[in-house]
Structure formats: C-alpha cells, structure tokens
Amino acid sequence: MADEELHETNAHDQEDWQNQVETTDEAAEVADASAADKTAAEDYGIPMDKVEAVLNATADKAALTPQMQRMMQRQAENTRRVEESIKGTKSNPRWFVPLFCTFMIIGLIWAVVYYLTGNYPIPGIDAWNLAIALGIILIGFLMTMWWR
C-alpha cells in the first residue's frame, strides 16, 4: 500500500511543489538582505552611502558629522603614512637581479662543462675549475642578500 501511495504523485504535482519552495527561498533571501541593510544602518546610525563617500573623500565636509570628519582625518593620515613609507624605501637598480642570476647561471654552466669535458673551461688547472665555478655561484648568492 505504501508503494501505491508513493507512485500516485505525478510529475506535475512535483513541479508545483518545487516552484513553491524556490519562490519562498527567494523571498526569504530578499527579506534577509533588506533586514541586514536596515540593521547595519541602525547599529551605527550612519547610512552606507555616506561612509563610502567619506572613504572616497568625495563628501561635503560641512554636512558631515564630527564622527565622520574624524574618520576622514584618520583615513588621510593613514594614506599619508603609507606614502611616506613607500618613498623611504630604497630599491636596487634594474640591472641588479639579471646580474646575480647571470652569475649563478655562468657558475653552473662552468661546473657542468668541467664535469663533461674534464679539462675545460680552463685547461691545465683541473679541479680548480670547480672552485672557480663555485666562486662565481657564491658571488651570485651573496648578491641576493643585498636585493631589495
């Protein structure tokens, strides 16, 4: 008997039920969003469009509350501090990074050439070729410590 009751519903009844559920879900979401906007304005007593205007520094300063004027002053002070810290930052010249990368690559190539040939890049000094390769690589790595 339970199987008969389960199979008695048709596709049309099921579509109506799904439409009702979707409509009530959408209505609940809209109600929640509008309630959240109202509570945010009620909590702080300041509409969001005024806050955005203050943060974008496009507000009429005569029409602002003292709280919003303090907020604008803090925002301007923070912006000034960030700009000063950026100006005080020293940076390397543009050629610095390619130079230390080149040193490390040349040192690597020097060591690989010595291992493959056994004589070159400088014939006759044998294992000192490895010392030269490691020295060139070390120069590149030491340069990375001064990179800003």
Question: What pLDDT, on the 0 to 100 scale, is given for residue 24?
Answer: 55
Residue 8 has pLDDT above 80, yes or no: no
Q: Give the residue-averaged pLDDT of 50-57.
A: 68
Percent of the chain at pLDDT above 90? Answer: 30
Burial class (CB in 10 A: 0-12, 13-18, 19+), 103: buried
3-state SS of 42-98 is: HHHCCCHHHHHHHHCCCCCHHHCCHHHHHHHHHHHHHHHHHHHHHHCCCCCCCCHHH
pTM beyond 0.75: no
Residue 11 has pLDDT above 70, yes or no: no
Q: What is the pLDDT of residues 67-105, one digit of tens each?
A: 878 888 888 898 888 888 877 778 889 999 999 999 999
Residue 54 has pLDDT above 70, yes or no: no
